[in-house]
Amino acid sequence: MRTAVALSTAALLGSGAALAADVPRERLSLSASASADVTRDVLGVAFSTTREGNDAAGVQAALKQALDAALTEARKVAKPGQVNVQTGSFSLYPRHDPKSGKLNGWQGSAELLVEGRDTAAIAQLTGRITSLSIARVGYSLSREAREQAEADITAQAIARYRAKATEYAKLFGYGSYVLGEVSIASDEAMPVPMMVKAMRMSAMADEAALPTEAGKATVTVNVSGSVQLAREAVQR
């Protein structure tokens, strides 16, 4: 938990404000936060392959064939929200001789992206796709899981903010406070994708599933703002 506090005093000036000047207005600026570790529930796998040859059309055809074969397998288990399938980058570019600079062939790459909450189905799918190699594997937090975590954590952060406001008001000799401008923001520690050394999945015996471990994401909610200190207790 992080907490910051700053105090400023604004005294009223002028003869018409003599009585009010006896009671200086003081505003307290502070912040509080709460966080929780939530299990990541979305598995994402990126498959890719590269091809090269003397003919651009031939390289493109080879990439399309490899991608189509992978899509055929992926579509068998595709289910909205559980296993989402989409094509990634598809590129084709000329290859030049490093010495002469002349065109000596073509290179290209294709990518397939699979992610979802049915981690078992996705892990098994990696053993059935043989035309592409695994390039990246990573877990993330679904929107539903993040929103649920934020709802719980926000209540904690607000409670800490109010508790700090009450505590500091008393320490400065005031009876209570009135809430001023308050802002609430949340953030999630981004996962570090696991890079997998490219390998032909056909080399995996018996269509073995890819071993994975979800890990946890840290979701944090920050509450910051200011309160007006009051001499007397204020009904809130």
* pLDDT tens column, 167-195: 999 999 998 999 999 999 998 765 544 44
Determine the pLDDT at residue 130. Answer: 94
Q: How far is residue 44's CA from residue 123's CA, in Å, rounded to a whole number? A: 10
pTM, to two decimals: 0.69
Per CATH, the number for 42-140 is 3.30.70.2970
Average pLDDT, the chain: 83
* β-strands 133-140, 84-96 pairing: unpaired
- DSSP state letters, 11-72: ---SGGGHHHHTS-EEEEEEEEEEEEEEE--EEEEEEEEEEEES-HHHHHHHHHHHHHHHHH
Q: How far is residue 62's CA from residue 52's CA, in Å, rounded to a whole number? A: 9
Q: Distance of alpha carbon 185 from its chain centroid, rounded?
A: 14
Per-domain residue ranges of the chain: 4-38+145-188+220-230, 42-140
Distances (CA, A) of 177 to 29, 81, 90, 225: 12, 46, 60, 13
Q: How far is residue 54's CA from residue 128's CA, in Å, rounded to a whole number? A: 30
Q: How far is residue 47's CA from residue 113's CA, in Å, rounded to a whole number? A: 6
pLDDT one-digit tens code per residue, 54-90: 999 999 999 999 999 999 999 999 999 899 999 999 9
Q: pLDDT-derived band of residue 160, with 50, 70 and 90 as boundaries?
A: very high
* Model confidence at 110: pLDDT above 50: yes
* Model confidence at 11: pLDDT above 50: no
Q: How far is residue 223's CA from residue 30's CA, in Å, rounded to a whole number? A: 9
Q: How far is residue 76's CA from residue 168's CA, in Å, rounded to a whole number? A: 60
